[in-house]
């Protein structure tokens, strides 16, 4: 129950932040907001404040801000021909009647808000709580019986400082260097009890599975790093941008696998999978939950910026067409595109959800090991 509640709260936060971007920019520009909804219809509960209806709907997989004149123009409810130099108060506040730059701001505001939420969280983690980052010390965590490491006298707790005079600062560096010098005598400088010692070792060309050439298990130490308050937002923005790029690349691969292999790649999750992942992060602690929120917020931002009808990126795409051609896209056809896009998105969510259910019942892990 705790996991379900936290998952619901996270979902509400991400949706409200995203839709609040659309809402406040539209209000700021004087565009009439007809409804601010959490979830998708059918409607469960609603209350009207001023000219805007605030609703909670039964399908908690998103949210929406309904702007006056956003979809109706050309659909029969509002006639663009009714707009003249003598605009009525309502027609003047219709979304479709506003300049393209204002519509771009409104559409893009949700994506910006999700990105800013991630920046705030990451900045807080880097500036207040600190984050775990790889250090520059490689320590031995164990040796295999009768292995070169054991015969050379290496033991748990030793720090590997250099190999053949080359400074070693990560486990990967040691592994790469060793693979290039199999069967050769190597000189290691280790640190034991705060004292440096030299050790000679010959990494094996042939070795038992799971042992490695030296027969030693190693790890790079982890340190907690904090940044001053004035640096944390800069670092947070950079890290959010890097993570966004990785999400975009991963999303591209996911789409490629879905199209070419007709299968959902491992690690891709729908609402059920994300709820399961939330439970794992809850067990780790609050800092992990904050990291998850920032990651999900960036995922939502990247997904929405894609030029897919029914998403913000799809609406932005039609506005850009208008800017290039200097002619509005027929609203009726745009509405058809958005409706088709919504059907495709809901179908994908259903497929991924079924995949999540099958994975859970078959005991498969969410993330690759």
DSSP letters for 271-337: HHHHHHHHHHHHHH-HHHHHHHHHHHHHHHHHHHHSS-TTSHHHHHHHHHHHHHHTSPPPHHHHHHH
Q: Residues 205-218: what's their mean pLDDT? A: 87
Least-confidence region, from 175-184, 319-328, 354-363: 354-363
What pLDDT does residue 27 have?
94
Dump pLDDT digits (tens) for 91-123.
888 888 889 899 999 999 999 999 999 999 999
Tell me how far apart the alpha carbons of residues 269 and 168 are, in angstroms, rounded to a whole number. 38
Maximum Cα–Cα distance for the chain, whole Å?
92
Q: Which two tokens stand for residue 258?
A: 């879905």
As given in the structure block, the two tokens for residue 312 are 């913000």
261 confidence band (pLDDT: 50, 70, 90): low
When pLDDT is averaged across residues 347-356 and rounded to a whole number, the result is 77
Residue 80 pLDDT > 80: no
- Span of 47-51, 76-80, 164-168 with lowest mean pLDDT: 76-80
Which pLDDT value is given to residue 91?
A: 80
> Hey, what are 325's tokens?
């051609």
Q: Which is higher by pLDDT, 167 or 310? A: 167
Does 78 have pLDDT greater than 80? no
DSSP 177-242: HHHHTTTS-EEEEEEETTEEEEEEE---SS--TTT-SS-EEEEEEEEEE---TTTHHHHHHHHHHH
Residue 136 has pLDDT above 90, yes or no: no
Residue range 33-62: mean pLDDT, rounded:
88
pLDDT on residue 85: 42
Instruction: Please name which of 45, 38, 31, 33 lies closest in space to residue 16, comparing C-alpha atoms.
Output: 38
pLDDT at 327: 85
Per-residue confidence band for 350, with pLDDT thresholds at 50, 70 and 90: confident
Looking at residue 263, its pLDDT comes to 61
Contact 203, 183 (CB under 8 A): yes
CA angle 9, 12, 18 (to 5 degrees): 140
Q: What percent of the chain has pLDDT over 70?
A: 89
Q: Kindly report the number of other CB atoms within 10 A of residue 167's CB atom.
A: 10
pTM (predicted TM-score): 0.73
Residue 82: per-residue pLDDT: 45
Contacts of residue 197, defined as CB under 8 A and 6 or more positions apart, other chains included, come to 189, 190, 191
Tell me which range, 22-31, 87-96, 130-139, is most confidently predicted by mean pLDDT.
Answer: 22-31
- Any residues with CB less than 8 A from the CB of 367 and at least 6 apart, and which? 266, 267
| Residue 33 or 366, more confident | 33
For residue 207, give both structure tokens.
């070795």
Average per-residue pLDDT for the chain: 84
Q: Given this model, what pLDDT does residue 74 score?
A: 34
Look up the CATH number of domain 132-225.
Answer: 2.30.42.10
pLDDT value at 260 more than 90: no
pLDDT at 280: 82
Give me the mean pLDDT over the 10-39 stretch. Answer: 91
From CA 156, how far away is CA 151, in angstroms rounded? 13
Name which residue leads in pLDDT, 243 or 252.
243
* 269 pLDDT above the threshold of 80: no
pLDDT band at 53 (very low <50, low <70, confident <90, very high): very high
How would residue 4 be classed by pLDDT, with cut points 50, 70 and 90? confident
Task: Write out 250-286 in H/E/C secondary structure.
Answer: HHHHHHHHHHHHCCCCCCCCCHHHHHHHHHHHHHHCH
CA angle in degrees (0–180, nearest 5) for 60-55-354: 15
pLDDT confidence bin for 24, thresholds 50/70/90: very high
Q: pLDDT higher for 256 or 147? A: 147
CA distance 313 to 265: 24
- Give domain limits for the chain: 2-130+231-362, 132-225
């Amino acid at each position: 129950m705790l996991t379900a509640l936290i998952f619901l709260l996270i979902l509400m936060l991400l949706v409200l932040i995203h839709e609040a971007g659309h809402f406040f920019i539209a209000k700021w520009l004087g565009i009439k907001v007809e409804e601010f909804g959490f979830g998708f219809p059918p409607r469960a509960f609603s209350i009207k404040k001023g000219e805007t209806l605030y609703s909670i709907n039964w399908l908690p997989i998103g949210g929406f801000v309904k702007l006056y004149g956003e979809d109706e123009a050309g659909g029969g409810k509002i006639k663009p021909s009714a707009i003249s130099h003598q605009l009525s108060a309502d027609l003047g506040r219709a979304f479709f009647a506003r300049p393209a730059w204002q519509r771009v701001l409104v559409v893009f505001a949700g994506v910006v808000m999700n990105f800013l939420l991630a920046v705030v969280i990451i900045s807080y983690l880097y500036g207040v709580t600190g984050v775990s980052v790889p250090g520059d010390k490689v320590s031995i965590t164990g040796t295999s019986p009768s292995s070169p490491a054991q015969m050379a006298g290496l033991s748990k707790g030793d720090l590997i400082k250099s190999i053949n005079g080359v400074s070693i600062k990560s486990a990967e560096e040691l592994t790469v260097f060793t693979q290039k010098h199999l069967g050769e005598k190597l000189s290691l400088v280790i640190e034991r009890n705060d004292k440096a010692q030299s050790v000679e070792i010959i990494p094996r060309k042939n070795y038992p599975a799971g042992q490695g050439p030296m027969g030693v298990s190693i790890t790079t130490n982890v340190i907690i790093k904090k940044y001053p308050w004035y640096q944390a937002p800069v670092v947070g923005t950079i890290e959010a941008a890097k993570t966004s790029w990785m999400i975009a690349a991963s999303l591209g691969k996911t789409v490629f696998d879905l199209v070419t292999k007709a299968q959902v790649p491992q690690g891709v999750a729908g609402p059920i999978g994300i709820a399961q992942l939330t439970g794992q992060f809850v067990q780790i602690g609050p800092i992990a939950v904050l990291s998850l929120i920032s990651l999900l917020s960036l995922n939502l931002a990247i997904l929405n910026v894609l030029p897919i009808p029914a998403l913000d990126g799809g609406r932005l795409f039609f506005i850009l067409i208008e800017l290039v051609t200097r002619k509005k896209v027929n609203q009726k056809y745009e509405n058809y595109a958005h409706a088709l896009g919504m059907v495709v998105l809901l179908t994908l969510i259903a497929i991924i959800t079924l995949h999540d259910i099958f994975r859970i019942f078959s005991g498969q892990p969410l993330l690759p090991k």
